[in-house]
Chains A and B, each alone.
Chain A
Amino acid sequence: MGRLLKAFFFKLSKDLAFRIILIIGGGLALFETLILFGLQQILATEADVFKLVSGQSMLMLSFSPAQNFGLAIPLYIIIFICLEFSHGTIRNKIIAGHSKFQIYTSLYLSGLILAMMLLLSYVTLCTALGSIFGGFDVNGEAMFGITSGSKLSLEYLLKYILLGLLVYTSLVAVTVFFATLFRSIGPCIPIIFLLIMGGYYLAVIMGTVIQTSEAIALHQQMSGDQEVYQAAKDSLENFRRIGNVLKVINPLYSLSVADNVDGVSTMDTYTFFAGIGSNLIYAAAFFFGGAAIFKKRDIK
């Protein structure tokens, strides 16, 4: 295994595409910050301070797999793995006496290392640039990102970062699964794209439905119409139940929706552990499922 990983790092150091993707990541971070800063300058008036860019908003933006560079990471992993097949290096590794399980594990670990390297570089750069242009903004004054308008607690930040890293363990497992299944870039890219965007929008839509239902229920409670209030409360309960199921079956949920309690971003224990559990289950299922399929199939 160590030999396979050493070879991976050597190949990575010689890979032009890796250098290109690092440049793209850097460029995107700068471009996004400047665009948001530009918008902020246009929309701000003398009477009303309007903030879009901050370290916090850029941190939240850059961690999501559904945002620009977050999508590029699995796409690069697909290219890297599919080229291992088309160049015949997987064949050579088998001929040289590596078991298929060792090779599959090394592909997964290589993908995970790649994802972490790219993600952490991108997040660090985005947060640094955001902080340069608008300070870190602990109070969430920037009207951008899932924690906008609420204070960022250390507890939430740590939970978010942990889940943000953990989501890549399952995302890489899914990516390696499809890359080794199809062994061709063509079909893998749309599948991964649809899975990530589907998971993200499903979470955002559900989060919005719950927040809107909460507002409606509160409004009806204030207006004193008990019958309508009860109906709104029942609907809210139903949406919350669906949301709770989604938290388990959609690993992107906890990264896409944040709760705001008394002006502070929070993540309840259920959401946090559902996020951990769903990511670990997806990672294990796709890793072992993929390894079993890889072991059975012939190498062309």
Chain B
Amino acid sequence: MDIITTNELCKQYSHKLVIDHVNMHIPEHSIYGFVGENGSGKTTIMRLLTGLAEPTSGSFTLFGVKNTDPAIYEKRKYVSAIVEKTSLVPSMTAKENLRYFELYTGISLTEQDRDDLLRKVHLEDVGNKKVRNFSLGMRQRLGIALALVSKPKLMFLDEPMNGLDPEGIAELRDLLIDLNQKDGITVLISSHILSELEKIASCYGFISHGKIIEEITASELQSRCRKSLMIKVDKIAETEAILKTHNITDYKVSSNGEINIFENLKVNDIVAELNAANVTILSINSSEESVEEYYLNLVKEGK
């Protein structure tokens, strides 16, 4: 079952269509990795789905309720989000921010619950320090704690790894996996750190220039990602000439002298010919296309 579906969703600013007839399907209990270049429309879609912006046309359903139905306000109580920036009151402490959030969401936590939440995001030692004195990473973690106050069923996280150190990124990754697997929380997450996204996402939405170009599950993506043979040599021109004699055209040369060959080939024959041509093979191994490469190929094909 999809927790969110969008139907020809559009958003126009002045005369520019920034979200162009988007149809998305976010399965319940999934971690949906939202991938796209800067300005592709990821944040705008999150803003539309969280009610911060109104669609110009099209619609969406949240927990099966259409966005124009007043019942959507009730459903939004099961949603939490960090979109663009964490929403905190700088003159309050971490606990006061939690309490303030509790009051307007109508949730009542015990002191123990608040301590547990802060411990979960490693902010148990902040004491009476005002949020204005927090580092970016600490604010980000407190934002996540706020997002967890309402025990949501759906979380929108827009670039939540921004400002976190490597340890913080790993902790957030583990926390999200935990929330998804133990509590069944559906997560829609965008991140520029695609290698991190790859470790947690169970499905992906690829977006470019306001259009969803593909939605795919992680297992489908894995099977679709092209396998390649990566050869690092000292003479690139000669190597390319040899590949052409074997009618191999689907390869990519990177600036550091690596050649990624995406076609099946007889490795022994190529190696023998390279030796014969006095080309030194510095390294050779097989690799798999990453999410980033897959996305870039998708965008390239789209163009």
Q: Which residues of B contact A3 (CB under 8 A)?
A: 103-106
* Complex Cα–Cα for A99 and B70 (A): 9
**Total interface residues in chain A, CB < 8 Å:** 24
Contact check, B79 vs A95: say whether CB atoms are below 8 A apart.
yes
- The residue in chain B whose Cβ has the minimal distance to the Cβ of A11 is B100
A35-43, A84-92, A144-152 - the one binding chain B: A84-92
A240 contacts B by Cβ under 8 Å: no
Neighbouring B residues of A4 by C-beta, 8 Å = 104
CB <8 Å contact, A87 and B87: yes
A268 interface residue (CB < 8 Å to B): no
A93-B104 contact given A14-B96, A298-B47, CB 8 Å threshold: yes
Q: In the assembled complex, which residues on chain A have CB atoms less than 8 Å from the CB atom of B150? A: 96
Alpha-carbon gap, A296 to B79, bound state (A): 22
- Nearest to B72 among chain A residues (CB) is A97
B70-101: CB near A (< 8 Å → 1, else 0) gives: 10011111011101011111111000100111
Q: Are A97 and B89 within 8 A (Cβ)? A: no
Within 8 A of B (CB), among A6-56: 6-7, 10-11, 14-16
Looking at the assembled complex, report how far the CB atom of B98 sits from the nearest CB atom of chain A, in whole angstroms: 11
Size of the chain B interface, CB-CB below 8 angstroms: 34
Q: What 6 additional pairs, Cβ within 8 angstroms, besides A7-B100, A88-B87, A95-B76?
A: A14-B96, A87-B89, A91-B52, A92-B146, A97-B73, A97-B79
Residues of B within 8 A of A (CB): 47, 50-54, 70, 73-77, 79-81, 83, 85-92, 96, 99-101, 103-106, 146, 150
Are B77 and A97 touching (Cβ within 8 A)? yes
Q: Which residues of A contact B83 (CB under 8 A)?
A: 91, 95
Q: Which residues of A contact B (CB under 8 A)?
A: 3-4, 6-7, 10-11, 14-16, 87-89, 91-99, 296, 298-299
Knowing A97-B75, A97-B76, A97-B77, the reply to whether A298 touches B103 (Cβ < 8 A) is: no
Q: How far apart are the CA atoms of A7 and B51 in the complex, in Å?
A: 21
Question: Given A88-B87, A89-B89, do A98 and B73 touch, yes or no (CB 8 Å)?
Answer: yes
Given the contacts A14-B96, A298-B52, A88 and B80 also touching, CB distance less than 8 Å: no
Do B51 and A94 touch (CB < 8 A)?
yes
A-B contact pairs, 10 of them (CB 8 A): A3-B106, A87-B88, A89-B87, A91-B83, A95-B83, A96-B77, A96-B150, A97-B73, A99-B70, A298-B54
Q: B240: shortest Cβ distance to chain A, in Å?
A: 51
The 5 closest A-B pairs by CB, nearest first: A88-B87, A97-B76, A7-B104, A7-B103, A298-B53
- Interface-centre pick from A10, A95, A97 (highest chain B CB count, 10 A): A95
Chain B residues with CB under 8 A of A88: 85-88
